[in-house]
Amino acid sequence: MDELGFNKIAGAILATALGVMVLRTAPHIFIHSEMPSTPAYRVGPLEVASKDDAEPLPFPQLVWVDAMDSTRGLKVFKKCTSCHNADIDGANGTGPNLWNVVGSTAGVKDGFKYSNALVTSGKTWTYEELDGFLAKPTKYVSGTNMNFVGLKKETDRAAVIELLRLASASPLSKPTPQLVENESTPEAEVTPQSLNLETKEKDHGGEVH
Ligand code: HEC
């Protein structure tokens, strides 16, 4: 390659580089840009409603009440029988006898040595308290002696609680399912009555007689 040819190529490269430089700076010359003091939008952690944020639904829900099945409860109760029985006048074991426990005060079975934690919890074994306790005993009553992982499934809890409910000379009635108001429920319908039109009509359009 002769010297002229080399210069041509070098020149072309230089021109291209220069062109690129100009193009890169040019917009900044023509367009004045400064960061606004308040950004138009902010990038931050997105607020995503998580399961933990959700308000717990009122207790009990229909699924829970529907799952109150003593036959199934008897099966679930097999997880408890190493420590408990629910027989009338049944003996205490590692855990207290559970006859008549639904609706009773926590930690009152005669002859059983409860933990301080349970006795001082001041709990009454309502359906809701039992459900919470059986879900995770050691978390629900911290310091309890009931060394049991808990029943993860609410339907298992409802079933075994039904069994306990029936382990009584006078079982309490089943709880009423709590219906949650649906936010998308349409507003009350507008009727002539709700607008007081009927009254006005009776009053002959509001005229005083
Ligand atoms: C490893 C033994 C063990 C197992 C398994 C166990 N429990 Fe218990 N449970 C205990 C002990 C011990 C206590 C007393 C806790 C305390 O004093 O803190 C207790 C207490 C209770 C109480 C409160 C009784 C009262 O008089 O206040 C209920 C209700 C109960 N258990 C139900 C169950 C059910 C239902 C199951 C099975 C799903 C179960 N437990 C499984 C040992 C056990």
Domains of the chain: 68-166 (1.10.760.10)
Element (H, E) at 9: helix 3-30
Ligand 1 site, residue 86, Cβ cutoff 6 A: no
Mean pLDDT of 91-103: 98
Residue 71 or residue 201, greater confidence: 71
Could you identify the atom of ligand 1 that is nearest to the CA of residue 157?
A: 38
To the question of pTM greater than 0.75 for the whole model, the response is no
Q: For 19-28, 69-78, 118-127, 161-170, which range has the lowest pLDDT when averaged over its residues?
A: 19-28
- For 29-86, write each residue's pLDDT tens digit: 556 666 666 666 666 566 666 666 778 899 999 999 999 999 999 999 999 999 999 9
Report pLDDT for 9: 75
Evaluate the CA torsion angle 166, 167, 171, 176 in order and state its sign: negative
Nearest CA to ligand 1 atom 37: 80
Alpha carbon of 70 to ligand 1 centroid (Å): 18
Alpha carbon of 56 to ligand 1 centroid (Å): 25
Alpha carbon of 14 to ligand 1 centroid (Å): 86
Mean pLDDT of 177-204: 60
